[in-house]
């Protein structure tokens, strides 16, 4: 079966007991045992829950993995992964990760894990990090990144990690499995904030770890159960529901984003547009090689700095000013004052996040309405 068919049918067969076409929400925390230690597969809901199992199977299939683990948030998933590396181990990570992941690596560092942050968009930096210092246990990547949509060459980075006998984990939240399958490119683990495109409706927090080998996932399962950051059965249901429409939604997000990117690139008030689908984007050639589409996220730098960006953000009517991304509705975010305000101005400048930068999570509305909204906000036709 093709990917879109499997997304709807695989592992989500009608309930054998009742014929229900949707996976039931199993709220039971405990399960009857026929004799001490003899259960039907489920014992206690933190350890395993039938609705969660269905979600984990579906997530594993979506990414082409052997098995998956679902968590109560993206960061709960990331923290279970980092927690599995004891003091003395070494992690090399991108220097432009989702801010919460960077914070978790700082926590790992405070517990004695050696962490090196490098700009992974230039593989020479990755090679150098592997060449000096002790053996690397994990290479942690994110591509495309937030908010500059920087692209890392996954095949190249994975080759370096293989030579150094390190595992590779890739945060695939921005691309989603519709456009990028890191496991197929040789990664060991995919990380998701399922809060974003997989949930897709801005109504559920969730995270996932999806592994190429069952043994690696089983090792991480111990940490999932030990730290206990699991999702509720109802959250699992919402994510299963989101997964079924992931393919159609994400392709529409990308088509709309391409349209918005072209409009912004041609506007005199915009100094640069960052969208991996534009030939002007520094990561375009690599994105073309390793992705099947360019996603629904883009950023644009407005002439006139923070004042101009604020004016545009406030004038937009269809794009809601808010954090998060990946929902059906269009959102706009001002990184300098919102998602990236915890960084100092010097850190933001060094990272290339200008005060005039706006990040757009382009929704699945009619693209003509989105462009009209941007036009009125930029040209100031209406107050």
Ligand X SMILES: *Cc1c(COP(=O)(O)O)cnc(C)c1O
Q: In the bound complex, what is the minimum distance in angstroms from residue 64's beta carbon to ligand X?
A: 20
Quick one: which segment of 50-58, 94-102, 127-135, 329-337 binds ligand X (CB under 6 A)?
94-102
Quick one: which segment of 102-110, 132-140, 175-183, 189-197 binds ligand X (CB under 6 A)?
189-197
Sort strands 331-333 and 320-321 into parallel, antiparallel or unpaired: parallel
From the candidates 6, 46, 127, 251, which is the catalytic residue? Answer: 46
Q: In the bound complex, what is the minimum distance in angstroms from residue 172's beta carbon to ligand X?
A: 8
Tell me the CB-side half-sphere exposure of residue 190, using CA atoms within 13 A. Answer: 31
The number of residues that bind ligand X (CB under 6 A) is: 16
Is 310 one of the binding residues for ligand X (CB under 6 A)?
A: no
Is 296 one of the binding residues for ligand X (CB under 6 A)?
A: no
Tokens 């350890």 found at: 47
Distance from C-alpha of 130 to C-alpha of 162, rounded to nearest angstrom? 11
Distance from C-alpha of 107 to C-alpha of 348, rounded to nearest angstrom? 21
Q: Is 46 a catalytic residue?
A: yes
Tokens 């990547």 found at: 141
Q: In the bound complex, what is the minimum distance in angstroms from residue 146's beta carbon to ligand X?
A: 6
The 8-class DSSP code of residue 274 comes to E
151 token code pair:
């692209």
E runs forming strands in 12-159: 67-71, 90-94, 114-118, 138-142
Quick one: which segment of 52-60, 191-199, 223-231, 235-243 binds ligand X (CB under 6 A)?
191-199
Distance from C-alpha of 23 to C-alpha of 166, rounded to nearest angstrom? 38
Backbone Cα Rg of the chain:
21
Is 224 one of the binding residues for ligand X (CB under 6 A)?
A: no
Q: Closer to ligand X by CB, 84 or 146: give it.
A: 146
Q: Maximum Cα–Cα distance for the chain, whole Å? A: 74
Q: Closer to ligand X by CB, 207 or 335: give it.
A: 207
Is 200 one of the binding residues for ligand X (CB under 6 A)?
A: no
Quick one: which segment of 4-12, 93-101, 123-131, 213-221 binds ligand X (CB under 6 A)?
93-101
Q: In the bound complex, what is the minimum distance in angstroms from residue 53's beta carbon to ligand X?
A: 20
Is 301 one of the binding residues for ligand X (CB under 6 A)?
A: no
From the candidates 67, 116, 171, 355, which is the catalytic residue? Answer: 171
In the set 51, 84, 146, 290, which binds ligand X (CB under 6 A)? 146
Distance from C-alpha of 167 to C-alpha of 138, rounded to nearest angstrom? 5
In the set 74, 200, 229, 363, which binds ligand X (CB under 6 A)? 74
Q: Which of 97, 286, 91, 292 is nearest to 184 (CA)?
A: 292
Of how many residues is the chain composed?
Answer: 383
The distance of Cα 52 from the centroid of its chain, to the nearest Å, equals 19
Is 171 one of the binding residues for ligand X (CB under 6 A)?
A: yes
199 token code pair:
């949930």
Q: Is 85 a catalytic residue?
A: no
Is 193 one of the binding residues for ligand X (CB under 6 A)?
A: yes
From the candidates 26, 85, 98, 197, which is the catalytic residue? Answer: 98
Q: Is 171 a catalytic residue?
A: yes
Q: Are 331 and 320 in contact (CB under 8 A)?
A: yes
Q: Is 196 a catalytic residue?
A: yes
In the set 26, 82, 98, 140, which binds ligand X (CB under 6 A)? 98
Q: Closer to ligand X by CB, 75 or 364: give it.
A: 75
Distance from C-alpha of 67 to C-alpha of 237, rounded to nearest angstrom? 18
Tell me the CB-side half-sphere exposure of residue 284, using CA atoms within 13 A. Answer: 11
Is 164 one of the binding residues for ligand X (CB under 6 A)?
A: no
Residues with catalytic function: 46, 98, 171, 196
Binding site for ligand X (CB under 6 A): 73-75, 98, 100-101, 142, 146, 171, 173-174, 193, 195-196, 205, 207
């Amino acid at each position: 079966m093709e990917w879109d068919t499997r997304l709807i049918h695989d592992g989500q067969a009608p309930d054998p007991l009742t014929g229900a076409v949707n996976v039931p929400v199993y709220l039971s925390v405990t399960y009857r045992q026929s004799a001490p230690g003899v259960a039907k597969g489920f014992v206690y809901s933190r350890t395993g829950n039938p609705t969660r199992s269905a979600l984990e199977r579906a997530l594993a299939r979506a990414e082409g993995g052997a098995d998956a683990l679902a968590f109560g948030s993206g960061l709960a998933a990331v923290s279970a992964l980092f927690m599995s590396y004891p003091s003395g181990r070494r992690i090399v990570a991108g220097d432009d990760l989702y801010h919460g992941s960077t914070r978790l690596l700082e926590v790992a560092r405070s517990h004695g894990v050696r962490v090196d942050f490098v700009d992974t968009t230039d593989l020479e930096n990755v090679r150098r990090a592997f060449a000096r210092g002790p053996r690397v246990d994990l290479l942690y990547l994110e591509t495309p990144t937030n908010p500059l949509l920087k692209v890392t060459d996954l095949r190249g980075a994975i080759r370096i990690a293989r030579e150094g006998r390190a595992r590779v984990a890739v945060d695939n939240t921005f691309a989603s499995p519709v456009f990028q399958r890191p496991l197929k490119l040789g990664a060991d683990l995919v990380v998701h904030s399922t809060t974003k495109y997989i949930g897709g409706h801005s109504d559920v927090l969730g995270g996932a770890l999806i592994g190429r080998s069952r043994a690696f996932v089983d090792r991480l399962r111990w940490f999932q159960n030990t730290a206990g950051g699991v999702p509720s059965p109802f959250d699992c249901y919402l994510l299963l529901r989101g997964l079924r429409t992931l393919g159609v939604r994400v392709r529409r997000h990308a088509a709309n984003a391409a349209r918005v990117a072209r409009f912004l690139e041609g506007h005199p008030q915009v100094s640069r547009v960052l969208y991996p689908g534009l030939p002007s984007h520094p990561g375009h050639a690599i994105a073309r090689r390793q992705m099947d589409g360019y996603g629904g996220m883009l950023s644009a730098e407005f002439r006139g700095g923070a004042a101009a960006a604020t004016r545009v953000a406030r004038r937009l009517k269809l794009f809601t000013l808010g954090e998060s991304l990946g929902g059906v509705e269009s959102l706009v975010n001002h990184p300098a004052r919102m998602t990236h305000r915890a960084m100092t101005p010097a850190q933001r400048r060094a990272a290339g996040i200008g005060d005039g930068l706006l990040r757009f999570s382009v929704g699945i509305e009619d693209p003509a309405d989105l462009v009209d909204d941007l036009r009125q906000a930029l040209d100031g036709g209406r107050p």
